[in-house]
Amino acid sequence: MALVLVPLAEGFEDLEAITITDLLRRAQIEVITAGLKPGPVRGSRGTIVVPDMSLDEALGNKFDMIVLPGGQPGATNLEKDSRIGKLLQEMSANNKVTAAICAAPKVLATAGLLDGKQATSYPGSVSATEFPAVKLSDSPVVVDGNIVTSRGPGTAMDFTLTLIELLAGANVARHVEQALQRP
């Protein structure tokens, strides 16, 4: 079974973090939510989440994928955490999937993972001026190799269904989507 890390920083986008965690678990994918520090984490809309463990505790695992929720100041807090940057580099070097939504693709760009790649983000989060080597798209979800990016809260379901397809296959993704009763 695949193992996915969803790191939670103060100010994460509530809808994205919960949607990602919920849908991956519906697909029977093991998810570890990890706070940058021990204890509850408050989202950008005030939702308080108790992560499964702290990031330091989680780092002892071998993850198949890391998924960064956006939100502000959550994405900036992820970007400033050296453990996240190091983990992204390691996962990329080992051909593991790195994924980010909303403002969090900037974390991937700062780590150098988006150079020469096509990616999307919340408008203005990843700018062509600051990151000229990134091929910016306005698509809701972009997959380029082992990197998956998405635009924002409104694309969280499509983003996560794409992640499920990558980890568990199209049939599992379709099954999860059908159970959601999406139009």
Dig out the tokens for 55 from the structure: 């990031």
CB 2, CB 29: distance < 8 Å = yes
Token look-up 């308080």 returns 48
Active site residues: 102
Among residues 176, 122, 118, 127, the alpha carbon closest in space to that of 150 is found at 122
Any idea of the CA torsion for 30, 144, 85, 3, to the nearest 10 degrees? 10
Angstrom distance (rounded) from CA 43 to CA 74: 8
Which residue blocks in the chain are alpha helix, DSSP H? 14-26, 55-58, 74-80, 82-93, 105-110, 156-168, 170-180
